[in-house]
């Protein structure tokens, strides 16, 4: 029994030590310094290249989680680390979690060329969008379908936090090209 | 009353007996088995710690430094760590109960069950911490009450309902493991609850992948985690099904005879095929299942009471309950299903050349088997309440002579002055002057073992030289 008590104490102490080591502000300087581009969460996400305007431009990280219904699809939030912003509005000068953007490679497919750009907060994907997709005619409709299903702060990418997406019906080639670029982007980001 | 065995009266170990007659056999008939050092056990301990680090490492690597800004983040992080630890410990718990031959022979069933209890307590705390930390963290993030958040989790999250059920099972199993509760509840209920912990393993599986931050996305971590599960399942299958099946099909044990050793103790002799090929040592035990009416569904560990001789196996059992009472009526020819051999309570695990054995009542059985394999010069102290409780007296006397063993029978109740004097640090030192340089093997009722360990520690015997065999926890 003494050993069990020791083990439980060790568990508590170990967990605390790990959290403290990771959470120490000293380490955060190093972490943010090595990531680029570093964009403060409070800035206008529209300024980020390739990031589609979000419903709540004041804080995309938050809006990704808090949709009008009050919540995202649960697996999305739990699926990855989600450093939670402390306040809903960027009024405080306290350090906020940083956003970074990562682009996937250009993927050429039947109807054109696309690349996927994802925005991450920590390791969590908070936004995704396809760039350079054909806009006209039948291919444009496919592009729109895929964009509507996958992209955005409440799209399937953000919900699933992975490149394993359901293929959009009647837009298989576009879906696959999107997923390929997305997978590379995620690999690059992590 | 304290008296020394008449055969070996006044005999110091290794000297010629004074009573004349045939001198003790100069050569031991069976050589002592080679030592098995603690290497295997240490390797397993190392593996355990390495696994623990490997379980938490993904979190460490995945989490950017300084990414935790508020209490919610800290709680989430702590919840994730405890979750990973709990997942790992659960696997360890199941693995420890897999009866894998290597585990049973390197660590020993008795030590495993003590570790299982301690790790179990830690696991329970880890699971509860994981659950409550994340619950509070998510509730804060969703601006819900904690109870409201429980509803949200159960309703909206994949696999969390089953995870909650798994946690409930673990809490129940953990509570019934507490000694006070366990002793008042029927064994069957306890047993079936423990069986349910396999369900906890499966029910808790899903949510780790659908909701676990480190395991959700495909990659080496997820693959490794699944591989660990598969490995444990394979070990379980091997240790519980394949290995016993192989053993029993190979040796086909049957009851040969049931012999009364004393009014309340019986010896069961078993025969079978290829008995000379069983790799077993005196002091080890098997889990026996006697395939007779009313007995077949229970499996109990009993030590062998004779070393391997290639012709028969013998186990000696004290009749204490219904099951053991039924064993008296076993018919010759009854099939026996055995799992084993297990245990590190053997001559091969000695650390010194000489040994002191202390037996209490029917605890003599494994020591009697071990006596045949210990190097000459061992000493045996046999505690029994009355002279009638002394089992296998003639055999012990024969062994004392053949293997240069001093035997002391210490008769009387625990509070009699004789036994009290012998079982004190001074008494032990007087009886066996070099006791501190011996391995001490203890087998008997929990009270005697506890008391003896205290006396032995006071007499200056290092803990690693004390070997215990108690099945009561």
Per-residue pLDDT of B207-266, as tens digits, reads 888 887 778 778 888 899 999 999 999 999 999 999 999 999 999 999 999 999 888 899
Query: Which residue in chain A has the smallest CA separation from B156?
Result: A74
Q: What is the ipTM of this complex?
A: 0.72
Closest CB to B210 among A14, A75, A186: A75
Residue in this structure with the two tokens 């949200």, named with its chain if needed: B152
Whether B111 shows a pLDDT value over 90: the answer reads no
Query: Which residue in chain A has the smallest CA separation from B219?
Result: A187
- In this prediction, residue B264 carries a pLDDT of 87
Between chains, do A22 and B218 touch, taking CB under 8 Å as contact? no
Is residue B214 within 8 Å of residue B220, measured between CB atoms? no
- Report the half-sphere exposure of B252 (CA within 13 A, side-chain side): 5
Containing B330, the helix (H) or strand (E) segment is: none
How many of the other CB atoms lie within 10 Å of CB of B347? 25
* Mean pLDDT to the nearest integer, B338-350: 87
Closest CB to B69 among A4, A77, A86: A86
Residues B427-440: tens digit of each pLDDT: 999 999 999 999 99
The beta-carbon contacts of B469-473 under 8 Å, at least 24 apart in sequence, are B469/B110, B469/B283, B469/B303, B469/B343, B469/B345, B469/B363, B469/B366, B469/B441, B469/B442, B469/B443, B470/B110, B470/B443, B470/B444, B470/B446, B471/B110, B471/B113, B471/B301, B472/B446, B473/B113, B473/B114, B473/B117, B473/B179
**Among B135, B123, B108, CA closest to B44:** B108
d(CA B184, CA B180): 7
Whether B12 shows a pLDDT value over 70: the answer reads no
Between chains, do A97 and B70 touch, taking CB under 8 Å as contact? no
First and final C-alpha spacing in chain B: 31
- In this prediction, residue A26 carries a pLDDT of 53
DSSP B331: P
Between chains, do B152 and A71 touch, taking CB under 8 Å as contact? yes
d(CA A161, CA B216): 8
Between chains, do B64 and A78 touch, taking CB under 8 Å as contact? no
Residues B28-40: tens digit of each pLDDT: 456 778 887 778 8
**A98 confidence band (pLDDT: 50, 70, 90):** low
Q: What are phi and psi of A171, to 5 degrees?
A: -145, 50
CATH number, domain A38-87+95-189, options 1.10.3470, 3.90.1010, 1.10.150, 3.30.70:
3.90.1010
Interface test with B, best of A7, A32, A86 (most B CBs within 10 A): A7
How many of the other CB atoms lie within 10 Å of CB of A186? 22
Closest CB to A22 among B63, B70, B85: B63
Residues A108-164: tens digit of each pLDDT: 888 888 888 888 877 788 888 888 887 777 777 788 888 888 888 778 888 888 888
């Amino acid at each position: 029994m003494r050993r069990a008590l020791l083990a439980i104490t060790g568990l508590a102490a170990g967990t605390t030590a790990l959290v403290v080591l990771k959470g120490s502000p000293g380490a955060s300087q190093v972490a943010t310094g090595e990531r680029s581009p570093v964009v403060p969460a409070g800035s206008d996400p529209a300024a980020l290249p390739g990031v589609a305007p979000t419903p709540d431009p004041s804080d995309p990280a938050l809006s990704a989680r808090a949709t009008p219904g009050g919540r995202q699809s649960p697996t999305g939030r739990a699926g990855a680390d989600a450093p939670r912003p402390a306040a809903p509005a960027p009024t405080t000068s306290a350090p906020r979690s940083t956003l970074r953007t990562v682009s996937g490679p250009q993927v050429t497919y039947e109807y054109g060329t696309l690349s996927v750009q994802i925005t991450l907060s920590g390791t969590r994907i908070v936004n995704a969008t396809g760039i350079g997709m054909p806009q006209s005619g039948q291919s444009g409709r496919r592009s729109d379908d895929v964009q509507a299903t996958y992209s955005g702060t409440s799209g399937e990418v953000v919900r699933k936090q992975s490149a394993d997406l359901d293929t959009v019906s009647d837009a298989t080639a576009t879906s696959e090209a999107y997923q390929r670029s997305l997978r590379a982007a995620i690999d690059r980001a992590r | 009353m304290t008296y020394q065995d008449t055969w070996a009266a006044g005999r110091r170990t290794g000297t010629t007996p004074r009573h004349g007659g045939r001198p003790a056999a100069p050569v031991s008939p069976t050589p002592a088995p080679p030592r098995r050092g603690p290497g295997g056990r240490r390797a397993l301990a190392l593996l355990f710690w390495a696994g623990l680090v490997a379980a938490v490492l993904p979190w460490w690597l995945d989490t950017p430094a300084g990414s935790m800004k508020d209490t919610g983040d800290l709680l989430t992080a702590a919840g994730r760590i405890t979750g990973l630890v709990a997942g790992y410990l659960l696997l360890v718990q199941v693995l420890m109960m897999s009866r894998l031959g290597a585990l049973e022979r390197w660590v020993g069933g008795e030590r495993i069950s003590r570790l299982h209890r301690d790790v179990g307590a830690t696991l329970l705390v880890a699971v509860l911490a994981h659950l409550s930390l994340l619950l509070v963290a998510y509730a804060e993030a969703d601006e819900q009450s904690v109870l409201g958040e429980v509803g949200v989790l159960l309703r909206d999250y994949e696999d969390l309902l089953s995870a909650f059920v798994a946690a409930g099972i673990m809490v129940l199993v953990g509570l019934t493991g507490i000694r006070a509760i366990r002793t008042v509840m029927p064994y069957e209920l306890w047993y079936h609850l423990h069986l349910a912990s396999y369900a906890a393993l499966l029910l808790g599986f899903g949510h780790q992948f659908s909701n676990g931050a480190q395991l959700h996305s495909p990659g080496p971590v997820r693959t490794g985690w699944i591989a660990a599960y598969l490995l444990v399942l394979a070990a379980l299958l091997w240790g519980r099904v394949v290995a016993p099946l192989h053993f029993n099909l190979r040796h086909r044990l049957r009851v040969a005879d049931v012999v009364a050793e004393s009014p309340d103790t019986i010896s069961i002799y078993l025969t079978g095929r290829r008995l000379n090929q069983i790799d077993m040592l005196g002091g080890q035990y098997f889990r026996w299942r006697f395939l007779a009416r009313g007995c077949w569904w229970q499996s109990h560990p009993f030590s062998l009471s004779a070393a391997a001789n290639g012709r028969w196996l013998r186990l000696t059992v004290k009749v204490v309950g219904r099951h053991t009472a039924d064993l008296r009526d076993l018919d010759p020819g009854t099939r026996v299903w055995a799992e084993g051999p297990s245990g590190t309570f053997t001559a091969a695990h000695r650390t010194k050349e000489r040994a002191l054995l202390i037996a209490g009542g029917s605890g003599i059985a494994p020591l009697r088997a071990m006596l045949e394999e210990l190097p000459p010069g061992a000493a045996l102290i046999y505690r029994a309440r009355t002279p009638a409780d002394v089992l296998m007296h003639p055999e012990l006397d024969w062994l004392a002579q053949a293997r240069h063993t001093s035997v002391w029978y210490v008769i009387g109740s625990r509070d009699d002055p004789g036994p009290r004097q012998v079982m004190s640090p001074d008494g032990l030192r007087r009886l066996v002057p070099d006791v501190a340089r011996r391995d001490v093997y203890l087998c008997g009722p929990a009270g005697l073992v506890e008391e003896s360990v205290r006396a032995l520690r006071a007499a200056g015997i290092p803990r690693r030289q004390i070997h215990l065999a108690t099945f009561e926890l």
